[in-house]
Chain A
Amino acid sequence: MKRILATFAVGPFLLGLGACGERPQVIDYKQGTYQGKQDTPPYQAAPFSGNKSQWENAIKTRQQNQNEYKRTH
């Protein structure tokens, strides 16, 4: 009986604490600076896995594919 009474007494307090975990939903605005999520560099993920020079070489090759003078002569 004591246990049930204790549950009824403490329960509302515990429920009330639930609101303490609520995150603020309003942006803390700073004028003139990017406010969004941070992006990763394109070479960070697979297939380059952080190898910047390999990524740059891949892009350089693709760029020269647009130059048909280099492709046909």
Chain B
Amino acid sequence: MARMKFLCDAERCIECNGCVTACKQEHDIPWGVNRRRVVTINDGVPGERSISVACMHCSDAPCMAVCPVDCFYRSEEGVVLHDKDLCIGCGYCFYACPFGAPQFPQTGAFGVRGKMDKCTFCAGGPEADGSAEEFAKYGRNRLAEGKLPACAEMCSTKALLGGDGDVISEIYRERVTRRGKGNDAWGWSTAYGRPETQAPSAPPVGGSPAAPAAATVSKS
């Protein structure tokens, strides 16, 4: 098995935040900590794109490189995890991470940072699998139950894919070759017909508007 990765299809993501909710619910994550979030570019403008972002479990993770207490490790499946018992909450990993994945609960007075929390690819942490300690510190270990991350499995449009990098890239490749590009990818042609078969938007000058029967809409 290769490395576990996430892949978000920006053409499919509808910014429903279902992945964020699924993650929070699955791991009982406190307020102020978002292991996953949805980022939208050109919000409100036609052609806007959304993408779901969390820890990308980098093959050469910058957080691992900068951690002064070396609390990060990479599991056999390529998942980047950390030991919360070692973490000192310095925040170096937050500055190093290009995705803003490390999160810090602010529970104490004066905004004191707690121990770092981040996406675990639903793989728990260095505690006994399925134990109460593991759940309290790192959340549920779905991988040990033979399941994939909750965010990917809950995604309603299957925009967010999670799993073996080779497998999910193959799923994505097949999807892209089938759906085409432009309007086809958006689903406009399926919903409203292809542009070339639609009726003209304005009636001819001096004439009556086109009859409804003339507006042939493709049902393909």
Asked whether any CB of chain A lies closer than 8 Å to the CB of B43, the reply is no
Beyond A63-B163, A63-B167, A66-B171, whether A37 also contacts B126 by CB under 8 A is: yes
Q: How far is the CA of A23 from the CA of B144 in the complex (A)?
A: 33
Asked if B72 CB lies within 8 Å of chain A CBs, one says yes
A17 at the interface (CB under 8 A from B): no
Q: Given the complex, which residues of B lie within 8 Å of A40, measured CB to CB?
A: 128-129
Q: Is A67 an interface residue (CB 8 A)?
A: yes
Contacts of B86 in A (CB 8 A): 27, 35-36
Tally of chain B residues near chain A (CB < 8 A)? 42
Instruction: Tell me, rounded to whole Å, the shortest Cβ–Cβ distance linking B154 to chain A.
Output: 11
Among the stretches B34-42, B53-61, B73-81, B98-106, the one at the interface with A is B73-81
> A34 in the interface, Cβ–Cβ < 8 Å?
yes
Q: Is the pair B126, A38 in contact by a Cβ cutoff of 8 Å? A: yes
Q: Indicate the member of A58, A60, A63 with the most B CB atoms within 10 Å.
A: A63
Are B146 and A67 closer than 8 Å at their CB atoms? no
How distant is A32 from chain B, measured CB to nearest CB, in Å? Answer: 7
B26 to A: closest C-beta gap in Å: 15
B71 close to A35 (CB less than 8 A) = yes
CB distance from A58 to the nearest CB of B (A): 3
Given contact pairs A40-B129, A42-B77, A62-B153, A34 touches B146 in the complex (Cβ within 8 A): no
B175 proximal to A (CB < 8 A):
yes
Chain A residues contacting B126 (CB-CB under 8 Å) are: 36-39
In the complex, are the beta carbons of B174 and A69 less than 8 A apart? Answer: yes
